[in-house]
Amino acid sequence: MLDGGEYSSSAAMAAECFTSFNSLSKKSSKNKRRFSDEQIRSLEIIFESESKLEPRKKLQLARELGLQPRQVAIWFQNRRARWKSKQLERDYSILRANYNTLASQFGTLKKEKQSLVTQLQKLNELLEKSREDSQCCTKEVAENNIDSKSDNEKIKDEFEGNPSVSLERSEHGFGVLSDDDNRSSIKAEYFRLDEEPDLQNTVEPADDSLTSPENWGSLDSNDLYEQSSSSQWWDFWS
DNA sequence: ATCGTGGAGCGTATTACTTCA
DNA sequence: GGTGAAGTAATACGCTCCACG
């Protein structure tokens, strides 16, 4: 970069530079010459310790290097500008690297989310199927007149530990359970929450739409997917 | 105390020139 | 040898700060 060209780093050359500069007219700088290697080296050393020169030091440096104080001042100005430009490039590289990392992480999370939505869909189908089975069995029981208790009474028995109902449950699976119980059981079974306690500690949506059982009834995987895919900030990524 | 002014220094954009591939 | 890109000294201009009257 700092080749020096025909001008070596000798003091004689530096002096010649100075002479050439002095002969320049203000408008024409045809004889503009690069500073010598030695001059540049000295300027760089000073710049490393202080990017701005005190007036006294500027005069001293100019004397030592055989330059005009104005030249030293301009060199420092340009040097600061170059440094700033390089710094911007460095900052940009860092930002770009961070961006790429985040983009990659986002892609992973997006896939994970899609997988969860699919699981949720299957869960809802399972739920729907069990609900149909429940209606079928209830109808059967009523027809056979085996038990005149209402569903609510059965549920009450269940919670109070009535063995006859428990037996019935074991025979009919989710048949006589309320929807909420069904969902709790399915949820626990499907996600194996008691086996993977970490899942319960994961970050949940602020609105509790997934965690509150009272909201499960209105939970629909399609809705969820639509909600997540409509006019959200992450639309930008898809 | 306040205001106007001029000089110095700085940042930025640009020009003019040099060097090199 | 011609040429375009990159580097760099220097200029132009606008801005801020500060001393001074």
Encode pLDDT of A106-129 as tens digits: 999 999 999 999 999 999 999 999
Q: What is the pLDDT of residue A105?
A: 96
Confidence of residue A23 (pLDDT cuts 50, 70, 90): very low
Q: Around A237, how many Cα atoms within 13 Å sit in the side-chain half-sphere?
A: 17
- pLDDT of A100 > 80? The answer is yes
Q: Are the C-beta atoms of A220 and A124 separated by less than 8 Å?
A: yes
A232-to-A81, A101, A209 alpha-carbon distances in Å: 41, 21, 17
Burial of A4: CB neighbours in 10 Å, binned 0-12, 13-18, 19+:
middle
- With a pLDDT cut of 70, the percent of chain A lying above it is 44
Q: What is the 3-state secondary structure (H, E, C) of chain A?
A: CCCCCCCCCCHHHHHHHHHHHHCCCCCCCCCCCCCCHHHHHHHHHHHHHCCCCCHHHHHHHHHHHCCCHHHHHHHHHHHHHHHHHHHHHHHHHHHHHHHHHHHHHHHHHHHHHHHHHHHHHHHHHHHHHHHHHHHHHHHHHHHHCCCCCCHHHHHHHHHHCCHHHHHHHHHHCCCCCCHHHHHHHHHHHHHCCCCCHHHHHCCCCCCCCCCCHHHHHHCCHHHHHHHHHCCCHHHHHC
Bases on strand C under 7 Å from any protein CB:
7-12
Confidence of residue A12 (pLDDT cuts 50, 70, 90): very low
Q: Are the C-beta atoms of A169 and A175 separated by less than 8 Å?
A: yes
Q: What is the pLDDT of residue A9?
A: 32
Nucleotide B19: nearest residue by CA–C1'?
Answer: A5
Name the nucleotide with the smallest C1'–CA separation from A3: B19
Confidence of residue A87 (pLDDT cuts 50, 70, 90): confident
Name the nucleotide with the smallest C1'–CA separation from A58: B9
Name the nucleotide with the smallest C1'–CA separation from A53: B9
**Its pTM surpasses 0.85:** no
- Considering only A9-23, A24-38, A183-197, which range has the smallest mean pLDDT? A9-23
Name the nucleotide with the smallest C1'–CA separation from A24: C10
Q: How far is residue A170's CA from residue A137's CA, in Å, rounded to a whole number?
A: 13
- pLDDT of A155 > 90? The answer is no
Q: What is the pLDDT of residue A15?
A: 35
Which residues get their CB within 7 angstroms of nucleic chain C? A 1-2, 21, 24, 26-27, 29, 32, 34-35, 40, 70-71, 74-75, 77-79, 82
Q: What is the pLDDT of residue A165?
A: 39
Confidence of residue A141 (pLDDT cuts 50, 70, 90): low
CA A4 / C1′ C4 distance in Å: 21
Confidence of residue A45 (pLDDT cuts 50, 70, 90): confident
CA A215 / C1′ B4 distance in Å: 72
The class level of CATH for A37-108 reads mainly alpha
| Mean pLDDT estimate for chain A | 61
Confidence of residue A32 (pLDDT cuts 50, 70, 90): low
Q: How far is residue A202's CA from residue A191's CA, in Å, rounded to a whole number?
A: 13
Confidence of residue A135 (pLDDT cuts 50, 70, 90): confident
- With a pLDDT cut of 90, the percent of chain A lying above it is 13
Q: What is the pLDDT of residue A90?
A: 82
Q: What is the pLDDT of residue A102?
A: 95
